[in-house]
Amino acid sequence: MYDDPLPQSPASIELKGISRRVGRHFSLENISLRVRQGEILGLIGHTGAGKSSLLRVIAGLDAPDSGDIDLGGIQATRTLPHKRGVAMVFQRDVFYPGQPLERDRLEAARAGVFDRWRAVGISVEEILQELEFSEELFSQPPETLSGGQGRRASLLRAMFRDTPILLADEPLAGLDLWTRDRVARLLWRFVRATGKSLVVVAHEPVEAVGLADRLAVLHKGRLVQTGRPAELTSKPGHRVVVSLLQYPPWNDLTKFASSKSKDSSGLEMVLIPPANCRVDSEPVSEMMAIPVRMLRRRWSIADSFLEWVSSDTGEVLRTPDKVDPPASGWLSWEERDEVRFGCNGQRL
């Protein structure tokens, strides 16, 4: 079991050995995790890792087979969902047909939600402006909203509930790049001002990196690493962390590394950042080297890089871009830059 290393401190969410089995398979296995009051935790992982399942267990929509859940210091494992102090934005927008969001706004106003927001420097007008949610949309049947409008309406309704804990399953999905940035910034400011806790599943891991205080990485129902985004990007403790957070993708040099290492046989996997690789016309002495040929130059949002094909195995490898690269040559790296992972995925 991976145990979340967050020091014992006031926590609004604490999971202790949570497991949930679906059929013959685990969707969650022995997860222990803490979320401080006022903290934003980003859940990341590949499809099927258990992210949505974990949110549903916290919200009380699914019961764990074992383990305990504390919410705000109260044992909540057997507490009904509507009594947990949790509001949730679902992956697919859920509304009552024909019930416009105006009803939710009126209920929030009567409950003093907007007064409490104003007391900490948050105005409902500012939130509506940042979400680009017009007055006309409040009276519109929710089933007639567009995909992006539905996402923003779901988030707004969860915020109107004014619970201590917010759970959001891909709240930025379906929004364009600039709108995602604006809504993420709004969420960050909202949590900071109100002291709520937010657990968010990101559609793209990069969204969680820009929003969350800490990340929790799930892989096949297990928690494999937690930490601040900078820690996980600089010191990935599991190879799935590399596949989620590193772009351009790291080079898989398992077949070429200096020592015996075969992922398929369960020994280990060897990866190396593209920045630590180079291609020269001739092999560089005292460096590992394999023959490659140029495939193409690729562009990412941040930068460009080069892709090469191993002449021996057909593996696609990457290096930083450079002026006038050779059509073929030798890809080299130093053994000290190799990052090794065991058969369980953990870094060695």
pLDDT digit string, tens, across residues 70-126: 998 889 988 898 899 999 988 776 666 667 889 999 999 999 999 999 999 999 999
DSSP state at residue 142: G
> Quick one: which H or E segment has residue 121?
none
- 281 strand-pairing partners: none
pTM of the predicted protein model: 0.89
106 Cβ contact partners less than 8 Å away, ≥ 6 residues apart: none
> How many whole angstroms separate alpha carbon 4 and alpha carbon 25?
23
Strands 40-44 and 197-201: parallel
Which two three-digit tokens encode residue 99?
């019930």
In the prediction, which pLDDT does 263 show? Answer: 47
Q: What is the pLDDT, as a whole number, of residue 96?
A: 62
Consecutive H or E run containing 70: strand 66-71
Q: What is the pLDDT of residue 11?
A: 65
Q: Choose among 202, 217, 203: nearest CA to 346.
A: 217
Closest CA to 79 of 89, 64, 96: 64
CA nearest to 5, candidates 29, 32, 28, 39 = 32
Q: 35, 11 in Cβ contact below 8 A?
A: yes
Residue 93 tokens, joined: 């927008």
Return d(Cα 115, Cα 219) in angstroms, integer. Answer: 42
Q: Which residues are CB-neighbours of 261 under 8 A, at least 6 positions away?
A: 254, 267, 268, 269, 270, 340
Domains of the chain: 11-237 (3.40.50.300), 247-342 (2.40.50.140)
All residue ranges of the chain with pLDDT < 50 are 1, 7-9, 261, 263
